[in-house]
Amino acid sequence: MSTVRDLNLRVGWTIRRARQVRNLTQKSLARRCRMSQASISLIERGSRTNNLNTLKRVSEKLGFTMGELFELADSIKTESLRQILARQAEEAARDAGRRGWVSLKEVDRRLDGKSKS
């Protein structure tokens, strides 16, 4: 059974991949959805729990139903979530002007909801 955090990560990753496949930027998707770019970023990182209206709006603008969104998100395995979290941590470190890595132990801690942040 997935936790809310797992579900948010899976949905966010699915939205991000769908956006990238369609060659959309976060900014262009945000405009289509009448949302801020920051909101799209939070959704894609799994940092936010979204209401169903928001997910419906985003998924429709990407060309699929909410049912398809959850079906795709549900197909992502836990190991993939670990890789997603590690990649996000690397991107965050890069964005902050630092180079670094996150241990699998830290990734596991984040998956368990025991993040230090």
* Residue 83 and residue 61 share a domain: no
Backbone Cα Rg of the chain: 14
What is the chain's mean pLDDT, rounded? 80
- The reported pTM is 0.67
Query: Which has the minimum average pLDDT: 11-20, 76-85, 100-109?
Result: 100-109
Parent domain of 45: 4-74
Structure tokens at 92: 């965050």
CB atoms within 10 A of CB 79: 8
Same domain, 51 and 105: no
Is residue 117 situated within a structural domain?
no
Q: Are residues 8 and 30 in the same domain?
A: yes
Total domains, the chain:
2
In-domain check, residue 61: yes
Same domain, 40 and 60: yes
Higher-confidence position of 100 and 58: 58
Convert the pLDDT of each residue in 4-61 to its tens digit. Answer: 878 888 899 899 989 998 999 999 999 999 999 999 999 998 887 788 999 999 999 9
Is residue 116 in some structural domain? no
